[in-house]
Amino acid sequence: MTMMIYDANDFVGDLCTNKGLFDLHEAVEKKKRTYPHLHDFLQEGITFITEELMIDVTLFIKKEKRGDVMDVVRQLRKLLIDSTSIAIITNNISEPITTENL
């Protein structure tokens, strides 16, 4: 299943697969104190796009290991840049995707 990002206006773009989002959540969960704003976004499935969130995403890209999770974070950064004031992770079938319904 494809996870997507929507903003306040409409569809922004495809983010990753369900597994990709799960793997990203697992990676960020281990370092939630390092990336608190990214962690909160993944927990809630919706966020305002703040400078703090963008710093977390950028630091994750600069500091963490390469691989599939990194590809998801790079795509997330691109989609956040293309979004308006909010971002919503969804599969376009249910409510915003959170850790409870992932």
Number of domains making up the chain: 1
CB 84 within 8 A of CB 7: yes
Q: Indicate whether 14 belongs to any domain.
A: yes
Q: Indicate whether 99 belongs to any domain.
A: no
* Cut 0.95: pTM above it: no
Q: Indicate whether 69 belongs to any domain.
A: yes
Q: Indicate whether 16 belongs to any domain.
A: yes
The pLDDT tens digits along the chain (102 residues) read 799 999 999 999 999 999 999 999 999 999 999 999 999 999 999 999 999 999 999 999 999 887 889 999 999 999 999 999 999 999 877 655 555 555
Domain extent for 79: 2-90
Q: Indicate whether 63 belongs to any domain.
A: yes
Show Cβ contacts of residue 47 under 8 Å, excluding neighbours closer than 6 positions. 37, 40, 41, 53, 86, 87
